[in-house]
Amino acid sequence: MQEIVLLQCTACKNKNYSTTKNKKNTTEKLSLKKYCRHCRRHVLHKETKA
């Protein structure tokens, strides 16, 4: 039940990271604070579909 999801930067809208999540255990969308190399700072990244 693992699904591949992409993480998109909320500042510049670039898709920087890919990860997997279990849809049964985690029904809400992921949002992680990660480093964006385009913005050159740590920004909130939200889940988008692959």
Q: How far apart are CA 2 and CA 38, in angstroms?
A: 29
Domain that holds residue 10: 2-49
pLDDT tens, residue by residue, 6-46:
999 999 999 999 999 999 999 999 999 999 999 999 999 99
Domain count, the chain: 1
pLDDT at 50 over 80: no
Residue 45 has a pLDDT of 97
CATH number, domain of 39, equals 2.20.28.120
Residue 40 has a pLDDT of 96
Scanning the structure block, which residue is given the tokens 């990271």? 17
